[in-house]
Structure 1
């Protein structure tokens, strides 16, 4: 167990949110953003898509190392069966938020951890329902003017100013942020890395 605790941890993501969440766990890790293809089969279920993409991202980075635990993650927003990605511009962000306001949508976050040494992997996902409060066009435009929606799936960030748009959630908050922390700790533990021990 002690040997595994020294295994390098690599985050296959450029997301500041995921970086901050790993830092909050007290883990020592390096960033290595994935360049994996993120296209997917729209016939697949959201839970299948986020798991496939999370694994693909982790595998893309894992091939660059001889040892280590590589973490890959993918998050998507789904409203009435339709996937809402990152907005291309202010107009698309306005359209997304106009559809989300006053409705309940689901955020899926897929997670994969690959042990580079032997290729073994843990893959899973979490889903959380988000209830967004009714919003006027003026509120939506003011939020978009902050610039926060531009690189976020669904055009909002629950960990930022977007928090004031949300009425309540059903499920795991960190899944909405983009990294299901409890599931990650379970996966790391299966590979012999105890987050509580490392954080001391």
Structure 2
């Protein structure tokens, strides 16, 4: 059975909805330290997402070498090339949304599977998110109403809910926006006969 090395409710919901048999074991890695170190070395946002996904899978895979362990992560890269982290406060969320307003940004969603202590599969997908021009009153109201759920998300939105109101256009996979390249993952699981063909 597959182990998901993540506490993300969105990733769990995707696997559940696709009838993937899995269990959850939290990885407990210091994501901000890894991200900061790689960013300081000039690593691209795409490769940071991939490295974080691998770090999660490797951490759990070290404890469960007999299992296939899935790590996944997502990085938001602004039009200017900056990377955003999850907001810490509602004021943080407001600042992030105001900075994203009227511009496109990129979401890099990565997944890595580890087995026997080494990566055996990986995939990174990009989605381009076009944020419509957002009014200040709208942003404040949106954050006030939805802070409990958007506070745990990069970019301060949940596309499957009211966050859809933030966008004029989305290019790329819906699943990549949710935080995991699901269709390529399902293809690999079918190859390994963990899913029906």
TM-score normalised by the chain length of structure 1: 0.89
Moved over 2 A (4+): 186-190, 193-197
Gaps of 5+ in 2: none
Change (3 A) 1:76 1:186: same
Q: Equivalent residue for 2:152?
A: 151
Gaps of 5+ in 1: 1-7
Q: Which residue of 6, 10, 14 corresponds with 1:17?
A: 10
Q: Is the aligned partner of 1:137 residue 2:136?
A: yes
Q: CA deviation at 1:194?
A: 4.9
Q: CA deviation at 1:83?
A: 0.3
Change (3 A) 1:120 1:89: closer
Mapped to 1, the partners of 2:179 and 2:48 lie a distance apart of: 15
Q: CA deviation at 1:188?
A: 2.4
Change (3 A) 1:66 1:52: closer
Deviations 1:88-125 (A, max 9, x none): 11111001000111111000011101123x63421220
Q: CA deviation at 1:161?
A: 1.5
Cα root mean square deviation, aligned: 1.5
Q: Equivalent residue for 1:46?
A: 45
Q: Equivalent residue for 1:182?
A: 183
Q: Equivalent residue for 2:195?
A: 195
Q: Is the aligned partner of 1:126 residue 2:119?
A: no
Map 1:60-99 → 2, pairs under 5 A: 60-79=59-78, 80-99=80-99
Highest RCO, 1 vs 2 (Cα 8 Å, sep ≥ 6): 1
Task: Determine if contact 1:25/1:195 at 8 Å carries over to the other structure.
Answer: no
Q: CA deviation at 1:37?
A: 2.8
